[in-house]
Copies of this chain bind each other. A is one copy, B any other.
Amino acid sequence: MEFKVNSKELEKLLTKIIPAVPTRTPMSILENFLFEIKDGSLTINATDLEISMKSSINIVSEENVSIVVPAKLTHDILKSLGDTTVYFEITQNGKLNLKTDNGEYSISYLDAQEFPEIPTFPTNADDIYEITMNGLELKYALDITSFAMSKEEMRPAMMGTYLQFESEGLRFVATDGHRLVNLLKKNVKADISDQYVIPEKAISVLQKILDEKDIKIFLSKTHMSFKLNDIELITRLIGQKYPDYKSVIPLENEFDLKLKTKDIHTAIKRMMLFSSTSSTKRVKFAITENNLEISAEDIDMGNSGKESVMCEYNGNPIEIGFNSQYVNDILSHLTSEKEIIFKLHSATKAVIIVPSESKENQELMMLVMPVRLNN
């Protein structure tokens, strides 16, 4: 059977779908696209068994057929062609032939039956909801929370980002036990009591494909589906219960340390040059009314640094240690905030970091655990 497509149109489609193709997998069949030609439409599918992506273009074809083709090679060939018409031919003897004015490329395909079952959204299940979000708002929410997800496989739920609909809005939470991000988007409301934990892979793909357009999100107890323009991304949800993150958030951190975000961020980056060799990458904050002295020491190499950062502080003088990498991660996600406030209680209690001015329609809170100072 034969059909034709424009090279750039198909390349664009494959570029959107290929993030779902795993780059290192023991199941080599997953390194393929599933091409489904049906009723004048070519649908491209890819999956790593946790997420799946698909998108379609219209073609003129009289037959229906499904084949499995190597994802990277097919994508690379389309990328390497200029803007041209490509004639596709699927032969009976297992070859997908691509013909252009000057060239002819032959790729071995596999039977569609060899492709594993693709995660699909359970449209017939109970408790299915649909919401719509602006693509950039969802991207912001995922960007600012997901860096704090755990990479430890010991606690699978913490390897994802937690979504909960509350009466005030949609809450996003991510934590690895050392730091936590807690974002409430007040303009996204729905009467949904279920909770959802989205795995990392789905989040990293969403971060790549989200744009200013609205995105439709379908939620079930086991899967979420994201419909963006002509692409559908389906992800399994992490089935484990998310830990009770609220219990680690201190309610009475009465001391406020107000800082210019840029001042503390550049200082932390310099301190990381001295703290990088120790296991906790420790930086010390010595805080007084108008001065934050931050310091770090590389004991093995005999190097050290200290700096003064202007601040406003309303508490008792305190010395507290942090992992400089964790503080830097947090500050890297707050660069759009001019000033931030560290809310403290003592050298051993979790510290809360908030922007000094809230953005419209949202509440953002980050948390970092201190590390012990051996004085």
Contacts and interface: CB of A to CB of B under 8 A. Distances in A.
Interface string A205-240: 000000000000000000000000000000000000
A92 interface: no
Size category of the binding interface on chain A: 20 to 34
A308 B106 contact: no
A302 to B, nearest CB: 4
Contact of A308 (B103, B105, B274): B103
A127 interface: no
A270 B77 contact: yes
B303 A273 contact: no
Given A77-B273, A80-B270, A273-B76, A308 B102 contact: yes
B103 A301 contact: no
B301 A105 contact: no
Given A77-B270, A80-B269, A270-B77, A104 B303 contact: no
A73 B275 CA distance: 12
B103 A73 contact: no
B267 A108 contact: no
A273 B266 CA distance: 45
A189 interface: no
16 contacts: A73-B273, A73-B301, A76-B273, A80-B270, A81-B270, A95-B302, A102-B267, A102-B308, A103-B267, A103-B306, A103-B307, A104-B306, A106-B303, A106-B304, A107-B303, A108-B302
